[in-house]
Amino acid sequence: MATTRQVTRKCGDAYMLMKYTNDAGEVEWIWNSRDGVSPFGVQSRHGKGHLTHADWHEDAFVPNFVPPVGMRIFVDLTMERALVSARRQVTESWDRGNCQMKDHPHLGPMGQEGAAAALAKEYVGNGYQPTVEVVTEEIRAAFAKLAFEQPFHPGKRA
């Protein structure tokens, strides 16, 4: 039996479907699946440009949204994802360029893995940092289950 979900919102961006655009005419709708701030700008889907949150008046509050496979959504940054990014940054800057990370007074002595762990911890911060995730079948199914088993009803909002 379904139970009504009480959706509280600490952040105005929570559970909003938001429009992102750029000067090249790209338009992408990205859903914020979390009760946290969404980024003002994101890298375009193909990584060749930047999209900016636009036409805010068109944003829609949709906590029961079930995003389609392939859509991008905002989720909380996990330590695993932060480590992937941090390791990439360490690899790219450890011993390359004018300011090599290996010479950094704090990160250098930690070695590459220690530096990546320290950077990842910074990326995650207080645990509410957003990142973009592409919806898979598994992610879509989880949101569909939540919307079915614990639907949000506007009249019951906390």
The 10s digit of each residue's pLDDT in 49-60 is 899 999 999 999
Give the burial string for 27-55 (b: 16+ CB within 10 Å, else e).
Answer: eeebbbbbbbbbbeebeebeeeeebebee
The better pLDDT of the pair 18, 99 is held by 18
Q: What is the pLDDT of residues 83-139, one digit of tens each?
A: 998 999 999 999 988 889 999 999 999 999 999 999 989 888 877 788 899 999 999
Cβ atoms of residues 26 and 38 within 8 Å: no
